[in-house]
């Protein structure tokens, strides 16, 4: 039964995530991301791939967005409004809240600043968000009668979720991006032993095992602390959401702990709005924040204040978080230019920088930068690099697979070479099939679906009562009638089946004659047979009836003398088909003859 | 005669209507099951006397058989269990009936409840093997029940009552007794997870009761580790741990290879694996148990801290390794290069094991866990393993240091404590010390103090390390001046542990210059004192050091030696009169001069029998004064000195009281004197309670003496009352009570009596037969003479004696700003106090708040409010809720700490078997010496508060 198809984007690529899954006749699109590196059509997934003719809405049953990063949700307004999709879109509450802010921000940059056309509008974002259905963690949402989805916590960013998609007894888990080690503001991803047929997992860090987070945090704090104590200024270029909040919490708690007084600033705008949502969605954060928010919401920063352009010239130590993260434009670059000349100051790059940006240049050790207007900027300030990334590393991925116990694994969102290594590892350790399809490639996975059959409680109880206690490991034999009617299977007792079908019951009896050489009288033979059976069949009730017949349970045995040869007795054994097993055993027993020693 | 007895029995029943009868009537009246249930519920609220239990049980059983409604039967079954618990009631008489009820029961719930009742009965009759046998048999019979509840209870019953001794099984030839382990083991594969859990728990129960589990279970238990249900996994981890302790050295094969390893190693690996389980309950369980697996081989142990890093398939060094390398290459950690963590060599893809079945990285995972419960458990386990293995201690250091930066304070605190506990095994590297010291700026006082404790017993390897520590501690001092004492103490130990490392630092620290005179530092500067404490303590074992001191240093030494004698040791300084005589090594602590002095003064006192009354009093007064002064000077003898001084004080009071003229004067005239004598008696009583409960280390020998003194005081009280009151009526009661006390004294301390020749009680006991029969007035007379003639008892001193003391750090009582709050509402006052030498502070220490209107409020702090930073020391950090009606102006309230005592709890009386009493007796007479009271043991602190009237 083919049930999986990898969709237009993703695959062996970190960029636009977009996966199409067909499971038991249902089509689900997982994530709808865009590629940040392109400015042309390649930016969005090729949705014509999904269906050549016919509307998307008819083809897709639902769309699921795992988290708010643009490479997972950036193409959503384009997809729903410009290509045209009216079905339900599922995402978690925080994602639904934050996603439109990011989309709007991105739209502004592309349309207003770069002046591009043929891009979605604000109204489209709004319309698109109206189609979104928000889900809670661990809430099972029935999309239609057969398709159901369920969200699990994924760490990574606020509101990130893994989704389980289930049709009948076939299921797929899509992880989105996730993080198996907790950080300062989010917990670790968790999933129960749901044993899906397929686990689609990201594999960004397929070949990396990371050091403990604590060392990195300590280094970061130490550097900031030392600089501030020296009276220097610290610039931390960040992107508005995700890591920025983690670093804020880190610094805020450190300031609190160490009783420090130097001011911390955060560039305003987008971030304030985002912080507001972090405050609201406390249940999505880590244990510490969840436990202490009654006393104080950790996101109500005491030491971190809004930044004003004029503050950059203030004397004395300070720490400033400024956007954007790669020092390529905007506020962070302005501040950098002001502070670069002083060796007391420091800039900490908390993430990866794209080639060509100022961030990349200074990280690679360049000390003289050529700015606009042929100005040469000499960088005397210290430059630090600190990686705070929230993807699961190879160990984390393995851990998740161990938790979920899937029957097949599929790797996406990573580089082919790295995935190869992980694939081999997964197959070796868990003995499950692992796939790593390329973009646009379709993978088909055959499942071995189990078919549920309803059984009446009475029958179940009756059947389990017979014999020993049920053993989990061994299949158990049951007697009943299977009725297949209206697409459903039911196992009922024969009587009920007869009643339902309006049939009369027929008795089926097997009768068998066994010849025994015995010169004695009939009733003596009967007695001998009785004694023999009684001796052999200890667990059954063997009775000698007054009319000269023997019953073993419900099996009847009668003896008559042979009409021709008086020395041969004919034993008539008769049983119903239900007692077939015992009956045939009895006949074979009697055929062996009676032991001589008895009587 | 027979009839007469019957009659009396009947009479008794009439006066006290039987509970069973009432119940019977009630139950018969009940028309519907709901009614009956109501009656039973009401009945269950009231206790039942021991003697009527059986009757009640019979009635209940009778109704049980009649009852059709399952819920009522369930309640009856639970009542049966409750009743069998009644103390003093032996349930063997109802066992047969209880077993019979099982026969025809159809409802699974009732069946489970009945089995529960049988369990109660069984646990009360554990000494009777045949009863146990029978119950186990019953349980085995019901193991095939289809309801999980019934199977659960059966397994529980087998676990609690199954035969533990091998011999019994042979004698009693029954099916059940054959092999309980096998029966329980069969249910490891039950279809219901609850039953599986119960089976494992039953197995653990058997182990606890002393049955040696078979090794064969191990493989079964290992399979259970992969169960779908967390309770099963959690219990299985425990079972595996138990087996690993039982058969550590057995050899088990590794599946999928031909190798074999020790069972304890295998189990260790498996439990390590569970540290990354999906359920945090299991993770906590696993992490905790790891700590107690000390037989595991070091090779496996060290793997737990190992996590091979890689980046793009190339090997990467951990930050720890980098730090170590930098240190060993002599370069101080810069950490400022981008890419100094750049990956190095390529890794063979086949060799990388992503999910190890072994112990790899278990602690790395545990310490990074999401839940702080797991992290704490991991830290604790780390601590225990490190204590037993020095090489592991060295290795886990980096990880512990990392934990100092955890986001949860409890975890930080726990890791600091852990580090302290293993500090004997380790020496801190400079970069580690750096991280440790960074925590000194923490705003939490707990953390800072724990860190000071840690530094007290840390080994530092270089002089730079010492310097760094000193600089950081001084920084700490300027930031948090309240830490003064703790920092000084820390430097004291740091100095005395590392004299050779301090030596080269001395000129710099004292800022002396070979040619120039430097200005004399300010003597009152706490930072300067801190430096001096470090240097003087180092100088104690480094005789060359004083040569580096400048003149004023010597002067400062003399001053500090006097004012802070507990921090500054005696030094042998060249060309100076020694402040205290040098302690020659041959003298053992016992012959310490001050100790000698203590004993001498006591010796002197014991001879006072031979002095005239005036002389006795003077001698006692002098000795008391000496002792008190000694206690102030020598802190280690303070407890001892105070204790003896208090005792002598009591004696002095007694002698004074007895010498009053009042005894010779006619009754009406001595009202005034009477006040003095009775006050003395009262004070002696109080002092004796203090002696008994405020000192830790008091042994039973001292307790006798204290009780004896108390008895004397009571006698004095009796005499005084007899003298002052008219009429004999009240005296009867008092005499009776006193004689009872003498009696109980005799019972409690019968073994000590031979040592009390010629004492008051000795004489009293001789006269006992006469006392019992004589009139109160005569008793008083006899008491008076014996009291006068009795000798003074020697007080043997125990080895160590510490007086409980408390010091309230917060509130400081210095604030002039009143704490304002609206009347009728509450305000929380933070109380922070240190307690020394208090045993069981959770039970005894109370906070008292005294309001200006005389109203007193007693607050029992929560057990969690007490921390235990070191042996014999406790810290109370709690919140006290204040409330009052409105005042017109702010006023001061007093806050103090009390030590509650209950003489029942005293060590001596604990030996008397308590009379068996059940909860059913409502008004229990206070046992004769169950006096409860409180002793204030801290200085009261005044807090300014102002309840404002509520605004309308």
Q: Are residues B420 and B431 in the same domain?
A: no
What residues of A are in contact with residue B147 (Cβ under 8 Å)?
none
- Rounded to whole angstroms, the Cα distance separating A457 from B680 reads 84
- Rounded to whole angstroms, the Cα distance separating A400 from A385 reads 29
Residue A131 pLDDT = 92
Q: What's the domain count of chain B? A: 5
Query: Nearest by CB to A207, which of B190, B310, B364?
Result: B310
Taking residues A115-129, report their average pLDDT: 87
Is residue B94, in this structure, part of any structural domain at all?
A: yes
Nearest-by-CA chain A residue for B411:
A288
User: Could you tell me which residues come within 8 angstroms of residue B596 by beta carbon, excluding any fewer than 6 positions away?
Assistant: none
What residues of A are in contact with residue B368 (Cβ under 8 Å)?
181-182, 212-214
A residues 161..220 contacting B (CB < 8 A): 181-182, 184, 187-188, 190-193, 207-219
Cβ-contact B652, B687 below 8 angstroms: no
Tell whether A229 is within 8 A of chain B (Cβ): no
Residue A474 pLDDT = 66
The reply to whether residue B338 touches residue A385, judged by beta carbons under 8 angstroms, is yes
Q: Are residues B40 and B186 in the same domain?
A: yes
Q: Other C-beta atoms within 10 Å of B264: how many? A: 24
pLDDT of residue A282 exceeding 90, the answer is no
Q: Please report the DSSP string for B299-365 in residue order.
A: HHHHHTT---EEETTEEE--HHHHHHHHHHTTPPP---STTTT---SB--GGG--SS-SS-TTHHHH
Residue B664 pLDDT = 58
* Shortest distance, CA B354 to any CA of chain A (angstroms): 6
Tell whether B340 is within 8 A of chain A (Cβ): no
Torsion sign, CA atoms B861, B864, B868, B869: negative
Is residue B910, in this structure, part of any structural domain at all?
A: no
Is residue B844, in this structure, part of any structural domain at all?
A: yes
What residues of A are in contact with residue B442 (Cβ under 8 Å)?
257-258
Please write down the long-range contacts of B684-688, taking CB distance under 8 Å and 24 or more positions apart: B684/B650, B684/B653, B684/B654, B684/B709, B684/B710, B684/B712, B684/B713, B684/B716, B685/B710, B685/B713, B685/B714, B685/B717, B687/B646, B687/B649, B687/B650, B688/B650, B688/B713
* Shortest distance, CA B358 to any CA of chain A (angstroms): 13
Please write down the long-range contacts of B178-186, taking CB distance under 8 Å and 24 or more positions apart: B180/B136, B180/B206, B180/B211, B181/B206, B181/B211, B181/B213, B181/B214, B181/B217, B183/B140, B183/B143, B183/B158, B184/B155, B184/B158, B184/B159, B185/B217, B185/B220
Q: Other C-beta atoms within 10 Å of B334: how many? A: 8
Residue B198 pLDDT = 93
Question: Which residues of chain B carry a pLDDT beneath 50?
Answer: 1-16, 167-177, 329-340, 357, 577-590, 905-930
Q: Are residues B237 and B295 in the same domain?
A: no
User: Which of B373, B400, B425 delimits the end of a domain?
Assistant: B425
Residue A90 pLDDT = 95
Residue A150 pLDDT = 95
**Which H/E stretch holds residue A421?**
helix A416-430
3-state class (DSSP) for residue A97: helix
Go through B146-179 and write b for each residue having 16 or more CB atoms within 10 A of its CB, e for each that does not. ebbbbbbbbbbbbbbbbbbeeeebeebeeebbee
Q: Please report the DSSP string for B678-735 in residue order.
A: HHHHHHHHHHHHHHHHSEET--HHHHHHHHHHHHHHHHHHHHHHHHHS-SSHHHHHHH
Q: Are residues B660 and B776 in the same domain?
A: yes
Query: Cα angle vertex A192, ends A190, A197, to 5°?
Result: 115
Residues A408-436: tens digit of each pLDDT: 999 888 888 888 888 988 888 888 999 88
What residues of A are in contact with residue B372 (Cβ under 8 Å)?
287-288
* Shortest distance, CA B78 to any CA of chain A (angstroms): 28
Cβ-contact A178, A391 below 8 angstroms: yes
What residues of B are in contact with residue A181 (Cβ under 8 Å)?
368
Residue B172 pLDDT = 45
What residues of B are in contact with residue A193 (Cβ under 8 Å)?
228, 278
Region for A159 from its dihedrals, namely left if φ exceeds 0, alpha if ψ lies in -120 to 50, beta otherwise: left
- Rounded to whole angstroms, the Cα distance separating B813 from A598 reads 106
What residues of B are in contact with residue A207 (Cβ under 8 Å)?
310-313
- Rounded to whole angstroms, the Cα distance separating A206 from A574 reads 70
Q: Are residues B747 and B851 in the same domain?
A: no
- CA-nearest of B711, B687, B751, B698 to B906 is B698
Cβ-contact B831, B879 below 8 angstroms: yes
User: Could you tell me which residues come within 8 angstroms of residue A354 by beta carbon, excluding any fewer than 6 positions away?
Assistant: A326, A328, A360
Q: How far is CA A230 from CA A223, B431, B442, B500, in A?
A: 11, 20, 19, 32
Query: Cα angle vertex A224, ends A218, A230, to 5°?
Result: 130
Cβ-contact A164, A176 below 8 angstroms: no
Taking residues A557-573, report their average pLDDT: 78
B residues 255..284 contacting A (CB < 8 A): 276, 278
Residue B592 pLDDT = 66
Q: Which two tokens stand for residue B844?
A: 């005894």
Q: Are residues B137 and B53 in the same domain?
A: yes
Residue B910 pLDDT = 36
* Shortest distance, CA B861 to any CA of chain A (angstroms): 21
User: Could you tell me which residues come within 8 angstroms of residue A129 by beta carbon, excluding any fewer than 6 positions away?
Assistant: A96, A99, A100
Q: Other C-beta atoms within 10 Å of B328: how many? A: 9
CATH of domain A3-209+390-436: 3.60.15.10
Give the A:B interface size as CB pairs under 8 Å.
120
- Rounded to whole angstroms, the Cα distance separating B444 from B437 reads 14
Query: Nearest by CB to A429, which of B354, B402, B407?
Result: B354
Report cis status (omega within 30 of 0) of the bond before B811.
yes
**Which H/E stretch holds residue B934?**
strand B932-936
- Rounded to whole angstroms, the Cα distance separating A477 from A463 reads 9
Cβ-contact A330, A356 below 8 angstroms: no
Nearest-by-CA chain A residue for B191:
A472
**Active site (catalytic) residues of A:** 202
Report cis status (omega within 30 of 0) of the bond before A324.
yes
The domain made up of A509-592 is a member of CATH 3.30.310: yes
Domain-wise residue ranges, chain A: 3-209+390-436, 213-385, 453-501, 509-592
Q: Please report the DSSP string for B426-457 in residue order.
A: --B-HHHHHHHHHGGG-S-HHHHHHHHHHHHT
Residue B145: give its domain's CATH number. Answer: 1.25.10.10
Is pTM, for the whole model, over 0.80?
no
What residues of B are in contact with residue A418 (Cβ under 8 Å)?
312-313
Residue B591 pLDDT = 53
Q: Are residues B567 and B623 in the same domain?
A: no
Is residue B699, in this structure, part of any structural domain at all?
A: yes
Q: Please report the DSSP string for B832-896 in residue order.
A: EEEEES-SSHHHHEEEEEE-TTS-EEEE---GGGEEEEETTEEEEEEEEEE-----SS-EEEEEE
The reply to whether residue A257 touches residue B442, judged by beta carbons under 8 angstroms, is yes
Query: Nearest by CB to A187, which of B312, B336, B370?
Result: B370
Q: Are strands A318-322 and A233-237 parallel, antiparallel or unpaired?
A: parallel
Q: Are residues B727 and B746 in the same domain?
A: yes
Confidence of residue A174 (pLDDT cuts 50, 70, 90): very high
User: Which of B225, B245, B260 delimits the end of a domain?
Assistant: B260
Is residue B820, in this structure, part of any structural domain at all?
A: yes
Residue B849 pairs in a beta bridge with: B857, B895
Query: Nearest by CB to B402, which of A192, A209, A212?
Result: A212
Q: Are strands A433-435 and A408-412 parallel, antiparallel or unpaired?
A: parallel
Q: How many CA atoms lie within 13 A of B187 on its CB side?
A: 33
Q: Are residues B91 and B153 in the same domain?
A: yes
Residue A161 pairs in a beta bridge with: A153
Q: Are residues B301 and B404 in the same domain?
A: yes
The reply to whether residue B443 touches residue A384, judged by beta carbons under 8 angstroms, is no
* Shortest distance, CA B498 to any CA of chain A (angstroms): 28
Query: Cα angle vertex A72, ends A71, A75, to 5°?
Result: 80
The reply to whether residue B316 touches residue A211, judged by beta carbons under 8 angstroms, is yes
Q: Which two tokens stand for residue A537?
A: 């069949």
3-state class (DSSP) for residue A320: strand
- CA-nearest of B462, B470, B391 to B426 is B391
Structural domain of residue B103, as residue ranges? 19-164+177-260
A residues 407..426 contacting B (CB < 8 A): 418, 421, 424-425
Q: Are residues B711 and B619 in the same domain?
A: yes
Cβ-contact B534, B509 below 8 angstroms: yes
User: Could you tell me which residues come within 8 angstroms of residue B275 by beta carbon, excluding any fewer than 6 positions away?
Assistant: B283, B286, B287, B290, B362, B363, B365, B366, B374, B378
Q: How far is CA B359 from CA A184, B384, B398, B402, in A?
A: 27, 17, 18, 21
Place of tokens 């697979």: A401
Residue A141 pLDDT = 93
User: Which of B402, B425, B448 delimits the end of a domain?
Assistant: B425
Residue B848 pairs in a beta bridge with: B858, B896
Taking residues A53-77, report their average pLDDT: 87
Is residue B245, in this structure, part of any structural domain at all?
A: yes
Is residue B10, in this structure, part of any structural domain at all?
A: no
Q: Are residues B526 and B619 in the same domain?
A: no
Residue A200 pairs in a beta bridge with: A174, A410
* Shortest distance, CA A335 to any CA of chain B (angstroms): 21
Q: Mention the CATH class of domain A213-385.
A: alpha beta
How far from the centroid of its chain's Cα atoms is residue B261's Cα?
Answer: 40
Please write down the long-range contacts of B632-638, taking CB distance under 8 Å and 24 or more positions apart: B633/B565, B633/B594, B634/B594, B635/B565, B635/B566, B637/B594, B637/B595, B637/B598, B638/B803
The reply to whether residue A429 touches residue B403, judged by beta carbons under 8 angstroms, is no
């Amino acid at each position: 039964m083919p049930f999986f198809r990898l969709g237009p984007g993703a695959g062996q690529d970190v960029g636009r995530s977009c996966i199409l899954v067909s499971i038991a006749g249902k089509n689900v699109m997982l994530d709808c991301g865009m590629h940040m590196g392109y400015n042309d059509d390649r930016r969005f997934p090729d949705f014509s791939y999904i269906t050549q003719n016919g509307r998307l809405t008819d083809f897709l049953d639902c769309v699921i967005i795992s988290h708010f990063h643009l490479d997972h949700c950036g193409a959503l307004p384009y997809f729903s409004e410009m290509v045209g999709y009216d079905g339900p879109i599922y995402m978690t509450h925080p994602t639904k809240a934050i996603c439109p802010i990011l989309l709007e921000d991105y739209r502004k940059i592309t349309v207003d600043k770069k002046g591009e056309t043929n891009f979605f509008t604000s109204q489209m974002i709004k319309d698109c968000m109206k189609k979104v259905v928000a889900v809670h963690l661990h809430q099972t949402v029935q999309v239609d009668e057969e398709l159901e989805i369920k969200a699990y916590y994924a760490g990574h960013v606020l509101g990130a979720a893994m989704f389980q998609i289930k049709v009948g007894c076939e299921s797929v888990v899509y992880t989105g991006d996730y993080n198996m080690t907790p950080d300062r503001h989010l917990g670790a991803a968790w999933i129960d032993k749901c044993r899906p047929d397929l686990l689609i997992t990201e594999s960004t860090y397929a070949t990396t095992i990371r050091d403990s987070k604590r060392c990195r945090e300590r280094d970061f704090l130490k550097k900031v602390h030392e600089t501030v104590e020296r009276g220097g200024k610290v610039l931390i270029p960040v992107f508005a959401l995700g890591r920025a909040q983690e670093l804020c919490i880190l610094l805020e708690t450190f300031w609190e702990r160490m009783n420090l007084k130097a001011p911390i600033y955060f560039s305003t705008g987008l971030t304030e709005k985002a912080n507001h949502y972090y405050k609201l969605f406390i249940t999505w954060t880590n244990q510490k924040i969840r436990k202490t928010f009654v006393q104080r919401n950790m996101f109500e920063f005491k030491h971190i204040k809004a930044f004003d352009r004029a503050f950059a010239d203030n004397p004395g130590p300070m720490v400033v978080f400024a956007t954007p993260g790669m020092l390529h434009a905007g506020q962070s670059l302005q501040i950098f230019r002001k502070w670069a000349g002083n060796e007391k100051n420091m800039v900490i790059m908390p993430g990866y920088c794209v080639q060509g940006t100022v961030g990349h240049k200074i990280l690679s050790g360049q000390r003289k930068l050529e700015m606009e207007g042929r100005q040469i900027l000499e960088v005397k300030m210290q430059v630090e690099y600190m990686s705070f990334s929230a993807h699961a590393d190879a160990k984390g991925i393995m851990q998740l697979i161990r938790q979920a116990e899937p029957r097949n694994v599929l790797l996406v969102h990573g580089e082919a070479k790295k995935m190869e290594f992980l694939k081999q590892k997964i197959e070796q350790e868990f003995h499950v099939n692992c796939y790593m399809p390329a973009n646009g490639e379709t993978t088909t996975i055959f499942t071995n679906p189990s078919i549920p059959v309803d059984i009446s409680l009475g029958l179940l109880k009756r059947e389990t009562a017979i014999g020993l206690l049920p053993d989990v490991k061994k299949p158990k034999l049951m007697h009943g009638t299977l009725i297949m009617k209206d697409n459903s299977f039911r196992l009922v007792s024969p009587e009920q089946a007869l009643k339902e079908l309006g049939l009369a019951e027929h008795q089926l009896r097997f009768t068998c004659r066994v010849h025994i050489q015995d010169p004695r009288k009939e009733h003596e033979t009967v007695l001998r047979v009785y004694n023999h059976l009684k001796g052999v069949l200890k667990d059954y009730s063997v009775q000698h009836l007054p009319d000269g017949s023997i019953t073993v349970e419900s099996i009847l045995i009668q003896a008559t003398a042979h009409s021709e040869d008086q020395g041969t007795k004919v034993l008539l054994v008769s049983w119903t088909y239900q007692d077939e097993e015992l009956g045939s055993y009895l006949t074979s027993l009697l055929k062996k003859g009676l032991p001589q020693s008895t009587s | 005669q027979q009839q007469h007895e019957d009659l009396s029995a009947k009479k008794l029943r009439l006066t006290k209507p039987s509970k069973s009868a009432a119940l019977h009537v009630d139950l018969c009246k009940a028309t519907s099951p709901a009614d009956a249930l109501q009656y039973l519920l009401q009945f269950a609220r009231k206790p039942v006397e021991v003697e009527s239990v059986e009757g009640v049980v019979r009635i209940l059983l009778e109704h049980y058989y009649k009852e059709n409604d399952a819920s009522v039967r369930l309640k009856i079954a639970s009542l049966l269990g409750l009743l069998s618990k009644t103390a003093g009631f032996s349930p063997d008489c109802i066992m047969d009936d209880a077993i019979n009820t099982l026969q025809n029961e159809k409802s699974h719930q009732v069946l489970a409840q009945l089995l529960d009742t049988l369990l109660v009965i069984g646990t009360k009759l554990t000494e009777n093997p045949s009863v146990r046998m029978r119950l186990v048999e019953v349980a085995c019979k019901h193991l095939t029940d289809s309801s999980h509840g019934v199977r659960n209870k059966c397994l529980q019953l087998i676990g609690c009552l199954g035969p533990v001794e091998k011999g019994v099984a042979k004698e009693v030839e029954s099916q059940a007794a054959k092999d309980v382990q096998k029966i329980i083991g069969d249910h490891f594969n039950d279809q219901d997870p609850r039953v599986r859990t119960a089976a494992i728990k039953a197995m653990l129960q058997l182990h606890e009761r002393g049955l040696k589990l078979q090794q064969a279970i191990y493989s079964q238990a290992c399979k259970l580790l992969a169960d779908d249900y967390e309770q099963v996994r959690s219990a299985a981890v425990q079972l595996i741990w138990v087996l690993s302790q039982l058969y550590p050295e057995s050899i088990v094969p590794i599946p999928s290879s031909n190798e074999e390893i020790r069972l304890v190693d295998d189990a260790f690996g498996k439990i390590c694996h569970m540290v990354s389980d999906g359920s945090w309950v299991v993770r906590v369980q696993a992490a905790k148990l790891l700590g107690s697996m000390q037989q595991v081989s070091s090779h496996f142990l060290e793997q737990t801290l190992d996590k091979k890093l890689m980046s793009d398939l190339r090997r990467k060094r951990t930050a720890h390794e980098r730090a170590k390398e930098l240190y060993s290459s002599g370069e101080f950690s810069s950490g400022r290069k981008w890419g100094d963590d750049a990956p190095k060599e390529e890794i063979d893809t086949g060799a990388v094991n992503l999910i190890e079945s072994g112990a790899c990285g278990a602690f790395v995972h545990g310490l990074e866990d999401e839940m702080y419960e797991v992290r704490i458990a991991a830290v604790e386990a780390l601590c225990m393993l490190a204590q037993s293995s020095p090489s592991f201690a060295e290795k886990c250091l980096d990880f512990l240091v990392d934990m100092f930066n955890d986001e949860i304070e409890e975890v930080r605190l726990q890791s600091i404590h852990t580090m302290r506990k293993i500090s004997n095994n380790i020496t801190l590297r400079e970069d580690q010390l750096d991280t440790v010291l960074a925590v000194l700026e923490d705003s939490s006082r707990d953390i800072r103090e724990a860190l000071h404790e840690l530094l007290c017993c840390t080994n530092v390897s270089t002089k730079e390390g010492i310097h760094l520590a000193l600089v950081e501690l001084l920084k700490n001092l300027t930031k948090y001046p309240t830490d003064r004492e703790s920092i000084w103490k820390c430097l004291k130990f740091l100095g005395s542990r590392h004299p050779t490392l301090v030596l080269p630092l001395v000129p710099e620290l004292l800022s002396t210059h070979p040619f120039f005179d430097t200005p004399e530092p300010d003597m009152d500067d706490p930072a300067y004192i801190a430096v001096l404490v470090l240097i003087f303590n180092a100088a104690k074992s480094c005789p060359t050091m004083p040569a580096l001191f400048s003149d004023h240093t010597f002067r400062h030494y003399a001053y500090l030696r006097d004012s802070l004698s507990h921090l500054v040791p005696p030094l042998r300084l060249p060309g100076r009169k020694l402040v205290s005589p040098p302690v020659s090594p041959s003298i053992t602590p016992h012959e310490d001069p001050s100790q000698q002095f203590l004993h001498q003064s006591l010796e002197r006192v014991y001879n006072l029998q031979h002095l005239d009354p005036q002389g006795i009093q003077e001698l006692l007064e002098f000795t008391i004064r000496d002792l008190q002064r000694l206690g102030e000077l020598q802190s280690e003898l303070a407890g001892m000195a105070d204790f003896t001084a208090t005792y002598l004080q009591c004696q002095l009071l007694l002698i004074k009281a007895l010498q009053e003229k009042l005894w010779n004067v006619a009754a009406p005239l001595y009202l005034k004197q009477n006040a003095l004598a009775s006050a003395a008696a009262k004070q002696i009583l109080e002092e004796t309670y203090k002696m008994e409960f405020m000192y830790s280390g008091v042994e039973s020998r001292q307790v006798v003496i204290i009780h004896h003194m108390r008895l004397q005081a009571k006698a004095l009280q009796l005499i005084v009352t007899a003298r002052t009151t008219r009429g004999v009526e009240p005296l009867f009661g008092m005499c009776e009570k006193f004689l009872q006390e003498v009696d109980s004294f005799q019972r409690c301390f019968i073994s000590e009596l031979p040592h009390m020749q010629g004492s008051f009680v000795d004489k009293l006991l001789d006269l006992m037969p006469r006392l019992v029969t004589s009139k109160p007035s005569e008793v008083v007379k006899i008491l008076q003479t014996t009291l006068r003639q009795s000798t003074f008892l020697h007080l043997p001193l125990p080895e160590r004696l510490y007086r409980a003391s408390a010091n309230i750090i917060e509130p400081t009582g210095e604030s002039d700003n009143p704490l304002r709050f609206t009347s009728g509402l509450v305000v929380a006052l933070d109380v922070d106090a240190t307690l020394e030498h208090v045993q069981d502070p959770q039970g005894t220490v109370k906070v008292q708040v005294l309001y200006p209107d005389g109203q007193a409020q007693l607050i029992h702090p929560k057990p969690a409010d007490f921390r235990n930073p070191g042996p014999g020391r406790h810290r109370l950090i709690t919140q006290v809720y204040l409330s009052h009606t409105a005042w017109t102006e702010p006023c001061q309230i007093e806050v103090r700490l009390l030590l509650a005592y209950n003489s029942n709890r005293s060590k001596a009386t604990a030996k008397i078997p308590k009379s068996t009493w059940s909860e059913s007796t409502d008004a229990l007479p206070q046992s004769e010496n169950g006096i409860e009271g409180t002793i204030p043991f801290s200085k009261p602190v005044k807090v300014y508060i102002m309840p404002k009237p509520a605004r309308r």
